Amino acid sequence: MTGGCWGDLTEKITTLQGIEYLTGLQRLYCQLNDLQELDLTNNKELRIVLCGSNSRLKSLDLSGLTKLTELKCSRCQLEFLGLAGDTALNNISIGSNPLKSLNLSTNINLDYADASNMSQLETLILGNNTKLREFYINSSALSYLDIRNCTMLSALLQHTEATDQGSTWRWKDDSGTYPGYFCCGKHVIIRVTDQDYFGTDSPPPEAGPDDDKPRDEWTVQRLPADLKEIEEKAFMGTASYIVIIPQGCRKIGSYSFAYCPNLREVRIEGNPEIGNTAFIGNRDDLVILSDSAEVREWAEQHGLLCGILD
């Protein structure tokens, strides 16, 4: 079936097996059902997917649906949500799911996102979401959020114990903005540059987290000598100040050391392949130290400070 076909499924159902053959499907309404799985990777023409309130649905992979514009999948039991390459997506509601990680970095046309009541969300990755205007987020587990590239963001709502539920706050001082970090509510640290701040009614500190800690108290994370590869997101958000990567490591995966609020120094003893986003979202004074000219060149190309090992 091709062309302008769409689904309108309102009776209680447990499976959509065979939907992969409806290659022309553009709209799918299957909320308030009892689905355990939903494979839409072959439905490349989909524009709208409404699949919320399927209480047994734990995984939803919509990666590569380049025409998808709207997704509503709240109140499921999602532990995985794949949205990689969904560049047309502009409206998403994913609240009340037990997701621990959410990557919206490739959803560059995203305008509105509702991730409320996500109490287990630990990692949230934003990229060049320059069109994002409204973002509703609620997670006591989230410790760091980088919104520097969200230049259109005008409403950030964070429900925590430290704020009034349902309130939205934003402010900007008369002279412009403050560089660095500050606490948003009780849990979230937001790092922003050259744009409005969102947070409490008092100015943010001028320095980042633990900036006053002397160097001899910095925690050092030395990775095992026999380590061959650092997988994607392996150490994302680590609290270490110094990381030492051994000579034998041949690959440092994407986002492997992304969004680490204290990371000051990475010592790379070998000459590994490094993913473009391996150190994204870190401090501006992060230094990559290596005796490898290729590694230092990579650091310079990615806007990072670099130097030679001691």
- The CATH number of residue 78's host domain is 3.80.10.10
pLDDT band, residue 198 (cuts 50/70/90): very low
- State the average pLDDT over residues 227-248: 86
| Residue 204 shares a structural domain with residue 221 | no
pLDDT by residue (tens digit) across 18-49? 999 999 999 999 988 999 999 898 999 999 99
Higher pLDDT, 208 or 213: 213
Q: What pLDDT is attached to residue 5?
A: 35
Coil, helix or strand at residue 36: coil
pLDDT greater than 80 at residue 166:
no
Which is it for the CA torsion 99, 105, 106, 112, positive or negative? positive
**Are residue 43 and residue 171 in the same domain, yes or no?**
yes
Judgement on whether residues 151 and 227 belong to the same structural domain of the protein: no
175, 268: one domain: no
Whether residue 90 is found in the same domain as residue 41 = yes
| Domain end point (choices 190, 208, 226) | 208
- Note the pLDDT tens digit of each residue in 271-307: 999 998 899 888 888 999 999 999 999 999 988 999 9
Segment holding 75, helix H or strand E: none
E strand or H helix that includes residue 299? helix 293-301
Q: How many CB atoms lie within 10 A of CB 281?
A: 23
- The parent domain of residue 288 ranges over 215-307
Q: What is the mean pLDDT of residues 180-196?
A: 36
Cβ–Cβ under 8 Å, residues 277 and 252: no
For the ranges 116-130, 196-210, 218-232, the lowest mean pLDDT is seen at 196-210
Lowest mean pLDDT among 94-103, 129-138, 143-152: 143-152
> 144 and 171 share a domain?
yes
Looking at 208, 241, 275, the residue that finishes a domain is 208
Q: Using CB atoms within 10 A of its CB, is residue 182 exposed (0-12), middle (13-18) or buried (19+)?
A: buried
pLDDT for 145 equals 64
Same domain? 120 vs 7? yes
Sheet with strand 188-191: strands edge to edge = 144-146, 188-191, 181-184
Confidence at residue 154, expressed as pLDDT on a 0 to 100 scale: 61
Statement: residue 152 has pLDDT above 80: no
Residue with tokens 């996102």: 113
Residue 192 sits in the same domain as residue 261: no
Contact assessment for residue 147 and residue 169, using Cβ atoms and an 8 Å cutoff? no
- Cβ-contact 245, 225 below 8 angstroms: no
Examine the domain organization and report whether 203 and 90 are in the same domain: yes
- pLDDT (mean) for 117-132: 82
The answer to whether 217 and 193 have CB atoms below 8 angstroms apart is no
Are residue 156 and residue 287 in the same domain, yes or no?
no
Q: Do both 191 and 82 map to the same domain?
A: yes
Percentage of the residues of the chain whose pLDDT score is greater than 70 = 74
How far apart, in whole angstroms, are the C-alpha atoms of residue 244 and residue 256?
A: 13
Average pLDDT over the chain, rounded to an integer: 77
Average of per-residue pLDDT across 253-281: 90
Q: Please give the tally of structural domains in the chain.
A: 2
DSSP string covering 196-208: -B-S-SSPPPSS-
Determine the average pLDDT of the residues in 239-267.
Answer: 90
Q: Are residues 199 and 219 in the same domain?
A: no
More confident residue, 187 or 30: 30
The residue among 193, 208, 223 that closes a domain is 208
